[in-house]
C-alpha cells in the first residue's frame, strides 16, 4: 500500500504542476500583444485543459480522501503560485473589461455628437428647399 500511496501522491503533485503551467500559460496569453481572435481561441483551449486537470484532481481527492491531509511544502507552494496567477489573470481581465467599456462609451459619445450635429440617425426625414417665385 505504501508504494501505491507514494505513486498516488506523485500523480497528485504532477497534476498540480500541470495546473500551474496551464495557469502561467493563460497569464502569458493575456499579457501578449496578439490578435484578439487568435488569443481567444488559444485561451479557451487552455481553459478547457485547466478544467480537465481540475476535474482529475477533484476525482483523485474523492477517491483518496487522505490526499487533502498531505503536509507537503512544495505542493502548498504550487497551490499558492496557482492562486497568485489566478489573481493576476482576474486583474488583467478586469482591466481589459474596463478598457473596452471606456472605448464603447467613447464611440457612443461620438455617435451622439454626429447625430446631434449632422442628423445621421434620422430616418425618413429629407430636407426640401422651396424657392418662392415672385
Q: Answer whether 56's CB lies under 8 Å from 28's CB.
A: no
Q: Does a structural domain hold residue 14?
A: yes
119: left (phi over 0), alpha (psi -120 to 50) or beta: left
Answer with the residue of higher pLDDT: 47 or 68: 47
Does residue 52 lie within any of the structural domains?
yes
The domain in which residue 53 lies consists of: 2-118
Answer for the pair 118, 53: CB distance below 8 angstroms, yes or no: no
How many domains would you assign to the chain? 1
Query: Does residue 133 form part of some domain?
Result: no
Instruction: Tell how far CA 72 is from the center of its chain.
Output: 30
CATH at 59 = 1.20.58
Task: Give the number of other Cβ atoms within 10 Å of residue 19's Cβ.
Answer: 21
Q: What pLDDT band is residue 77 in, cutting at 50, 70 and 90?
A: very high
Q: Is residue 92 assigned to a domain?
A: yes
Entry field: residues in the chain = 134
Task: Answer yes or no: is pLDDT of 85 > 50.
Answer: yes
pTM to 2 decimal places:
0.68
Mean pLDDT of 54-71: 86
Q: Between 113 and 10, where is the model more confident? A: 10
Amino acid at each position: 500500500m505504501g508504494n501505491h500511496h507514494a505513486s498516488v501522491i506523485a500523480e497528485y503533485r504532477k497534476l498540480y504542476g500541470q495546473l500551474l503551467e496551464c495557469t502561467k500559460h493563460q497569464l502569458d496569453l493575456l499579457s501578449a500583444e496578439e490578435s484578439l481572435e487568435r488569443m481567444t481561441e488559444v485561451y479557451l483551449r487552455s481553459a478547457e485543459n485547466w478544467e480537465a486537470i481540475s476535474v482529475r484532481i477533484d476525482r483523485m481527492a474523492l477517491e483518496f480522501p487522505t490526499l487533502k491531509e498531505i503536509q507537503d511544502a512544495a505542493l502548498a507552494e504550487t497551490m499558492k503560485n496557482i492562486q497568485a496567477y489566478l489573481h493576476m489573470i482576474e486583474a488583467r481581465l478586469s482591466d481589459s473589461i474596463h478598457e473596452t467599456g471606456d472605448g464603447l462609451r467613447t464611440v457612443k459619445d461620438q455617435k451622439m455628437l454626429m447625430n446631434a450635429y449632422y442628423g445621421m440617425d434620422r430616418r425618413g426625414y429629407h430636407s426640401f428647399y422651396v424657392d418662392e417665385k415672385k
